[in-house]
Amino acid sequence: MGVVCMKGGVYTREKCSVCGKGLRVDERREIMSCPDHPQIAGSGKCFVKFGRDINKRFKAVNLAMQFLYGLRFKTVEGTYDAKDYQADKPYSFTNLSKKYLKRKSHLKSIKEAKCHIRAAQDYFQDRNVKEITGADIEDYLYSLEGISEKTRANYCSRLSDFWSWILRRGVIDLSRMPIFPKIDYELAYRTITDIETQEAIINAVWNSAKDINPKIWLGIDFLSTYVNIRPGDLLKIRERDINLDHGIMTIHHPTKKKNKTVVVRLLDHHIEILADLKKEYPALPDVKFFRHHGRVQRHINKNSPFGMNLFRRYWNRACKKLGVEGLDMYGGTRHTTTTEIARQAGTDNARKASAHETNKAFDRYCQFQDDTAFKMAQIVKGQKGKKVVNINKK
């Protein structure tokens, strides 16, 4: 015979209209009446008292009894937690996710995290995290419209990290950990070009930027040369990070890299250019290197750092001038150069140069594969030295 919990009860403050005695609640029959005048029934207003933790009001006895039965069942089951019923809802998705964002505020990806979590807050609101299932999460993710599957997977990954965090805090146990949906996606290959076209575009950037700020051209030239750095990495560089005596440039906390610094060995002609720029635009060691000089627009202060889109704007402007369509800066600089390195020096050297940690990520950057398959096809078909057949000949 199972254990029965009789903790708590349903009570009312209503009184009998005949004798004035307090009405009592019959849990078995789920009614309230006067013990001396059973024909006198109350309105149904009552409250559940469960130890010192819960004192909750209801408009009907049957609703109060359902709530009480649930509390008793959880007590026997061992899953009862008084915080689940507190008025300030400490286990609600909104309250816990706010704490999560505060805990993650030091991360570089905090902006993205806020975007992901706030969308989920609008959907789940004050629902208790213990009651949110994998199916609920899947429904939420596919309620998001106008996003790619890669973006949907990013939203899912953020929620997975949030639930792992509340698991470590002891809010839930493994039995309440949701099973997150698997979201399949395939990243598209970027359009690349040949080295000659790349050089023509970079030269066009020089022509449009040299009198405004040559560092705009230099940043894009860096991206097409040193394929292990990203545009965001360049914007982090300070004057002290460029060591011309040793011919190196140090990037602290590089984007999407586990190591805390990346040291870039500079080519000789870049060292000469940097030396000239440092003489022409001297600054304190902690000042950002890629900053505005001279002819600056009204809304941009002199010596303010470059914005994230400055390089891209000049790249797109140069492409338009040359009539090059559909070639973004990433594809035209890093992806194109990585592919050319693989063509000339092999994919292993290209992978080392780009510093990619996974083959899948590298394959998107390098769109050149070795010619082993082609050579095998030649052997199978005997095309070496074989006369070409004209299939249109009758």
Q: Give 15-51 pLDDT, tens digit per residue.
A: 998 898 899 888 888 888 898 888 888 888 999 988 8
Average pLDDT over residues 216-220: 94
What is d(CA 83, CA 72) in angstroms, rounded to the nearest whole number? Answer: 15
Q: How far is CA 295 from CA 216, 278, 291, 342, in A?
A: 13, 18, 12, 40
Report the C-alpha gap between 25 and 316 in whole angstroms: 77
Looking at residue 361, its pLDDT comes to 45
Residue ranges of domains in the chain: 9-80, 93-176, 195-365
**What is the mean pLDDT of the segment spanning 361-377?**
45
Predicted local confidence at residue 388, as pLDDT: 42
Q: State residue 362's pLDDT score.
A: 39
Confidence of residue 77 (pLDDT cuts 50, 70, 90): confident
Q: Inform me whether the pLDDT recorded for 357 exceeds 60.
A: no
Closest among 164, 163, 103 to 131, alpha carbons compared: 163
Output the 3-class SS for 11-44. Answer: ECCCECCCCCCECEEECCCCEEECCCCCCCECCC
What percent of the chain lies above the pLDDT cut of 70? 81
More confident residue, 388 or 319: 319
Q: Which two tokens stand for residue 200?
A: 């023509």
Provide the pLDDT confidence category of residue 58 given band limits of 50, 70 and 90: very high
pLDDT higher than threshold 90 for residue 274: yes
Q: Are 267 and 225 in contact (CB under 8 A)?
A: yes
Query: Do residues 143 and 123 make contact, with C-beta atoms less than 8 angstroms apart?
Result: yes
Mean pLDDT of 224-239: 88
34-43, 97-106, 181-190, 283-292: lowest mean pLDDT where?
181-190
Q: Average of pLDDT values for 207-232?
A: 90
Rounded distance between C-alpha atoms, residue 390 and residue 93, angstroms: 70
Which tops the pLDDT comparison, 264 or 290? 290
Q: How confident is the model at residue 313 (pLDDT cuts 50, 70, 90)?
A: very high
Does 93-176 match 195-365 in CATH topology?
A: no
Mean pLDDT score across all residues of the chain: 82
The Cα 131–Cα 134 span in angstroms is 10
Fold for 195-365, please state it: hpI Integrase; Chain A (1.10.443)
Domain 93-176 CATH class label:
mainly alpha
CA-closest candidate to residue 309, choices 231, 221, 383, 202? 231
Q: For position 374, what pLDDT does the model report?
A: 44
Q: For residue range 95-151, list pLDDT tens digits in order.
A: 999 999 999 988 878 889 999 999 999 999 989 999 899 999 999 999 999 888 889
pLDDT for the residue numbered 258: 57
C-alpha span between 4 and 2 (Å, rounded): 6
Distances in Å between the alpha carbon of 324 and those of 193, 205, 316?
10, 13, 9
Question: Which of the four pLDDT bands, split at 50, 70 and 90, describes residue 225?
Answer: confident
Query: Could you tell me which residues are beta bridge partners of residue 265?
Result: 248
Name the residue with higher pLDDT: 356 or 92: 92
Is the torsion defined by CA of 233, 262, 155, 85 positive or negative? negative
Over residues 174-184, the mean pLDDT reads 90
Distance separating alpha carbons of residues 161 and 210, to the nearest angstrom: 46
CA dist 9 and 48 (Å) reads 6
